């Protein structure tokens, strides 16, 4: 008799918008062994730009949770708590129903909110729970409550050792296994005819494109990158700066555009919000930059490594765990303008060094971060957690 696949329910609390964990979940659903594992996602519908088309392309099984739609910032403060409480109850009731109806074997809590929903459901259903987290909560009372609840997790997964150590200290004594499993990366591409229809597509090989692929939000450091590019652009007329990502802070986004204009480089800085395959954008990039002030291990760094792209990145979070300075990329301390400018100037003019760094990065990716290897680690953990239950 054929063994039934393990039913995994991934809980996404805020919708499948463009983001690092959503990309990780997409690759997880795409790469996992379908004969052994059945992936189901429960999530509210996303307002604005989202990754739904990518999940539909892989025939992901999605169950939508109905909650009250409202913008927290625009709601009268005394009403916020009650609206959040109503949505919490609505989400929880529907979640328990899904767990029963779909005969779920294991709960996969995504980020802090998804993990808390999963752990509360565990109290009712007795199911094993793994939680994927990248940072602790900075809210005092709420953070203490969440860290207490997280102690009942079976497995807590992070993508870097540095952030995992922070989580261990924050959560405290726990029965959970703490594991580092980076995101399993598989970069996809559109065909060339479709690419040519994109307004940003270029076949001019004389230009050097510097690109940062990240959500537009202050801690990602796009303002620093624009500032430094403004300092060096006059010396490198062939260089352009592309900032690829969706805005999570419209005030910051507008400020970045104004900053580029005030520095006189508005015609050399492009803001691209592209909903298609990220590989399409990587084809256009010569030098990848990640100027973050805070991070764990960004997907875009592993994506660039898999494609052999030369990388300049801040030495924050788990980035130094995968990038060897001078060998597989160039690192600089957070907010170090001089070092970033020197690295950019060096790689803009030195094509051979770009190629050498890119080739070494691809080799490092293939040896330690291949998607087959990383997804197998996750599959083994899920199988172990469900063995006792079955």
Alpha helices, H only, the chain:
20-31, 52-57, 77-101, 111-125, 140-150, 161-171, 192-196, 222-232, 250-262, 278-282, 299-306, 319-322, 337-349, 351-368, 371-389
Distance CA 306, CA 20 (A): 17
Q: 7-20, pLDDT tens digit by residue? A: 999 999 989 998 99
Q: What percent of the chain has pLDDT over 70?
A: 94
pLDDT at 99 over 80: yes
Residue ranges of domains in the chain, CATH in brackets: 6-185+370-389 (3.40.50.2000), 192-368 (3.40.50.2000)
Q: 111-144, pLDDT tens digit by residue? A: 999 999 999 999 999 999 999 999 988 766 677 8
What would the 3-class secondary structure string for 238-277 be? CEEEEEECCECCHHHHHHHHHHHHHCCCCCCEEEECCCCC
Lookup result for tokens 């497995």: 155
Average pLDDT over residues 38-51: 88
**In Å, how far are 48, 54, 204, 254, 280 from 200, measured between CA atoms?**
22, 21, 11, 20, 10
Compute the mean pLDDT over every residue in the chain, rounded to the nearest whole number: 92
Looking at residue 208, what is its pLDDT?
Answer: 94
Q: 162-197, pLDDT tens digit by residue? A: 999 999 999 999 989 999 999 999 999 887 766 666
Distance CA 17, CA 142 (A): 24
For residue 37, give the 3-state DSSP assignment: strand
Nearest alpha-carbon partner for 99 in 378, 388, 379, 389:
389
Looking at residue 276, what is its pLDDT?
Answer: 85
Q: Which two tokens stand for residue 364?
A: 């490092």
Looking at residue 74, what is its pLDDT?
Answer: 79
For residue 50, give the 3-state DSSP assignment: strand
Instruction: Write the CB contacts of 337 (distance below 8 Å, at least 6 apart in sequence).
Output: 224, 227, 228, 231
Nearest alpha-carbon partner for 145 in 123, 178, 113, 177:
113
Widest Cα–Cα separation across the chain: 70
Distance CA 203, CA 218 (A): 32
């Amino acid at each position: 008799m054929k063994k039934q696949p393990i039913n995994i329910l991934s809980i996404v609390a805020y919708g499948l918008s463009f983001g690092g964990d959503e990309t990780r979940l997409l690759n997880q659903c795409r790469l996992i062994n379908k004969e052994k594992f059945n992936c189901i996602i429960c999530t509210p519908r996303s307002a604005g730009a989202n990754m739904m088309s990518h999940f539909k392309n892989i025939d992901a099984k999605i169950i939508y949770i109905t909650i009250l739609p409202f913008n927290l910032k625009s709601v009268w403060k005394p009403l916020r708590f009650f609206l959040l409480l109503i949505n919490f109850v609505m989400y929880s009731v529907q979640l328990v129903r899904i767990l029963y109806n779909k005969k779920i074997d294991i709960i996969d809590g995504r980020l802090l909110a998804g993990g808390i929903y999963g752990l509360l459901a565990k109290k009712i259903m007795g199911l094993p729970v793994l939680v994927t987290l990248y940072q602790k909560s900075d809210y005092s009372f709420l953070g203490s409550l969440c860290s207490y609840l997280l102690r009942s997790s079976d497995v807590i997964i992070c993508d870097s050792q540095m952030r995992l150590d922070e989580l261990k200290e924050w959560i405290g004594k726990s029965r959970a296994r703490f594991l580092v499993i980076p995101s399993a990366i598989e970069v996809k591409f559109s065909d060339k005819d479709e690419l040519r229809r994109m307004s940003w597509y270029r076949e001019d090989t004389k230009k050097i494109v510097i690109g940062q692929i990240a959500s537009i939000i202050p801690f990602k450091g796009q303002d620093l990158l624009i500032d430094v590019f403004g300092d060096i652009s006059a010396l490198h007329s062939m260089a352009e700066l592309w900032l690829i990502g969706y805005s999570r802070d419209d005030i910051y986004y507008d400020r970045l555009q104004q900053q580029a204009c005030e520095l006189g480089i508005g015609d050399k800085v492009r803001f691209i919000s592209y909903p298609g395959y990220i590989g399409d954008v990587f084809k256009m990039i010569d030098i990848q930059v990640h100027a973050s002030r805070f991070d764990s291990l960004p997907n875009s760094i592993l994506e660039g490594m898999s494609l052999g792209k030369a990388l300049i990145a801040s030495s924050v979070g788990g980035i130094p765990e995968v990038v060897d300075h001078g060998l597989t990329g160039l690192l600089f301390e957070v907010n170090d303008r001089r070092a970033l400018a020197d690295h950019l100037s060096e790689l803009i003019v030195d094509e051979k060094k770009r190629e050498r760094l890119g080739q070494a990065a691809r080799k490092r990716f293939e040896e330690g971060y291949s998607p087959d290897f990383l997804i197998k680690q996750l599959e083994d953990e899920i199988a172990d957690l469900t063995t006792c239950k079955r």
